[in-house]
Amino acid sequence: MVQDGSSFAGDPLVNENYFVFGKEIIAPCDARVVMVIDGVPDNIPGETNPVQLTGNTIVLQTDLDEYVLFAHLMEGSIQVEEGQEVRQGDVIALCGNSGNTTEPHLHLSLQNTVNMEEATGAKLFFDQIRVNGEIKTDYLPVKEEFIRNLE
């Protein structure tokens, strides 16, 4: 991470210059894959795709009938398919810049239904997570924080 809090180093029009682009996205819990969208090209940073809002997307369903949505994934990186069971820690895709987004990042939502446009969202707390270099417990990340896996 750059000291000034920037999300990239170098040319801001190149996805690979963003620190999160291509990083592994892991399942935060045991769940079943209930929706997969793939084949949406990654945007050039600064451009958006308002037609395909979430871009390449995975939705997981937990045993509690909660849905966890992962959006803006890298084109061609999804490693799961609908109906598959995943375990906490499994790599499910790579972070990308697809859909209605201006730069590479992960949109993560906890919701009460598969469809994001019809869903009611809920707060998504992490048992333990690294935020801006510091390990936090029972934490709800906020916009513009830098989040990392504990490893």
What does the pLDDT profile of the chain (151 residues) look like in tens digits? 445 678 999 999 999 999 999 999 999 999 999 999 999 999 999 999 999 999 999 999 999 999 999 999 999 999 999 999 999 999 999 999 999 999 999 999 999 999 888 889 999 898 888 998 899 999 998 888 888 777 7
Note whether residue 71 is domain-resident.
yes
Note whether residue 89 is domain-resident.
yes
Contact indicator for 22, 106 with CB cutoff of 8 Å: no
Note whether residue 50 is domain-resident.
yes
**Strands 121-122 and 134-139, how do they pair?**
unpaired
Note whether residue 9 is domain-resident.
no
Exposure b/e, 32-44, CB count within 10 A at least 16 = b = ebebbbbebebbe
Note whether residue 47 is domain-resident.
yes
Note whether residue 149 is domain-resident.
no
Residues facing residue 69 across a β-bridge = 59, 109
Cα angle value 64/66/150 (rounded, 5°):
95
Number of domains into which the chain is organized: 1
Residue 72 belongs to what domain range?
15-124
Q: Whole-model pTM? A: 0.91
Note whether residue 10 is domain-resident.
no
Residue 102 confidence (pLDDT): 96
Contact indicator for 70, 99 with CB cutoff of 8 Å: no
**123/111 Cα distance (integer angstroms):** 9
**40/23 Cα distance (integer angstroms):** 18
CATH number, domain of 19, equals: 2.70.70.10
Of 22, 27, 151, residue with least CA distance to 89: 27
Note whether residue 143 is domain-resident.
no
